[in-house]
Amino acid sequence: MKIRPKLVLSFSVIFVSAFVSSSYIAHTTIQSSLVSSGLSNEQVLSVLENIGMSIGVVSAIIGAAAIFVVYWVSSRISMPMRQLDSQLKFQKVGHHLENIKIKRNSIDKDDEIYQVVETVNSLINQLNKLEEKKEELLAIITHELKTPLAAMTGYAQILQKPKIIGELNSEQLKAIKIINKNATNLKKMIVDLLDSQKLDLEKMRFEKTFVDIAKLIEKLELNNQKLMQEKQIQFVNSTHEKIHTISDRERIEQVFNHLILNAVDFVPKGGQIEIGAQTKDEEILFYVKDSGIGIPLDKQKNIFQKFSRLDPFISRRHGGTGLGLSICKGIIKELGGNIWLESQPSKGSEFYFTIPRKKVKA
């Protein structure tokens, strides 16, 4: 505690000053008595010298004792505050919070600090209960939303197959596609909310297995070709190495899909998106580069935070929860890597992420 040195110094000065003052008064009184007693000057000086030395020694002892006592007392008094400060620093918002436990001491066991601790613990218990209710509510809402959405997307896909339902006219087919697209987007938003919550609670599961990076990226290239053709975007896979590692294939693919879909949203027709991977020392470097509108420098520092969006017009036009990039960051962190951005307005964006490279036999 910063207050302790000041407290020790202040009380020590007070004790020593009080003792020196009283000693000076006593010394003066004794001197007057000796002078009036009829002793010679040499005898008076000798007695006073002995008394002065005794007073000096006693003053030093009392001063040292005062410093020690005040330091010890202040340490005992400030100990609960140090414990409270230390335990609060280790609490994590969004996780189950632990109650504060402080050792009582004999000096101030009934002091207000323990009332503060009890109040803090009461608030912690209330926050834990609210967090539990929030998790329960989120689980119920997402489950109840996913169930009808699965039926909507399922029937929307069936309605587009003439061999099952029959032929639809162009207006009907257009309406079904809009329903299917919006239901799929809503389902994706629900999944994002769940993934964000899992990362916050450190409950997201990771299954690390053998991963052929080249094949993974080829799969991404194939799965996104139709989307790229619809938007007339050139999709390039610039991976030239045969790279293998031990990691979570599905999570890497999830991060790639987030970055690719983000790029699609901001790349104009006729633009380009490039994906790839390469080895770099003991890491694998992945990238998604686009020729889109770019991201202003003042927006880049917060781009990986939750609900981070560009200007309101762009947010309304492109939609989304604003959780995608924060989820990417959380996943890559759990995989032991880093993720970052390089971008200039009107010159596109380049997203990079790394994971540790664990050498394995193909």
128, pLDDT greater than 90: no
pLDDT confidence tier of residue 210, bands split at 50, 70 and 90: very high
Asked if 146 and 253 sit in the same domain, the reply is no
Q: Within a domain: residue 266? A: yes
Per the structure, the count of domains in the chain is 3
Mean pLDDT (whole number) for 93-118:
68
Q: Within a domain: residue 307? A: yes
Its pTM surpasses 0.75: no
Asked if 225 and 349 sit in the same domain, the reply is yes
Mean pLDDT (whole number) for 163-182:
86
**Of 200, 227, 256, which one is at a domain's C-terminal end?**
200
Q: Within a domain: residue 112? A: no
| pLDDT confidence of residue 358 | 81
Asked if 151 and 180 sit in the same domain, the reply is yes
| pLDDT confidence of residue 316 | 45
Asked if 142 and 195 sit in the same domain, the reply is yes
**Of 200, 219, 242, which one is at a domain's C-terminal end?**
200
Residue predicted with more confidence, 42 or 281? 281
Asked if 183 and 213 sit in the same domain, the reply is no
Residue predicted with more confidence, 60 or 9? 60
Asked if 260 and 330 sit in the same domain, the reply is yes
Most confident of 4-13, 56-65, 235-244: 235-244
Asked if 220 and 277 sit in the same domain, the reply is yes
**pLDDT tens digits along 69-81:** 777 766 666 677 7
**pLDDT tens digits along 129-143:** 887 887 777 777 777
249, pLDDT greater than 90: yes
Supply the range of the domain harboring residue 80.
3-90
Instruction: Spell out the SS3 assignment of 245-272.
Output: EEECHHHHHHHHHHHHHHHHHHCCCCCE
| pLDDT confidence of residue 213 | 95
| Least confident stretch, 45-49, 106-110, 213-217, 219-223 | 106-110
Q: Within a domain: residue 117? A: no
Asked if 77 and 163 sit in the same domain, the reply is no
Asked if 53 and 168 sit in the same domain, the reply is no
Asked if 152 and 290 sit in the same domain, the reply is no
Residue predicted with more confidence, 193 or 55? 193
| pLDDT confidence of residue 26 | 64
Q: Residue 336 region, left (φ>0) first, then alpha (ψ -120 to 50), else beta?
A: left
Asked if 253 and 187 sit in the same domain, the reply is no
| pLDDT confidence of residue 135 | 75
Q: Within a domain: residue 100? A: no
Q: Within a domain: residue 296? A: yes
Q: What is the mean pLDDT of the chain?
A: 80
| pLDDT confidence of residue 44 | 59
| pLDDT confidence of residue 7 | 57
Q: Within a domain: residue 344? A: yes
Residue predicted with more confidence, 172 or 67? 172
Mean pLDDT (whole number) for 358-362:
65
Asked if 142 and 85 sit in the same domain, the reply is no
| pLDDT confidence of residue 291 | 94
| pLDDT confidence of residue 360 | 64
Give the CATH number of the domain where residue 343 resides.
3.30.565.10
Q: Within a domain: residue 348? A: yes
**Of 66, 90, 114, which one is at a domain's C-terminal end?**
90
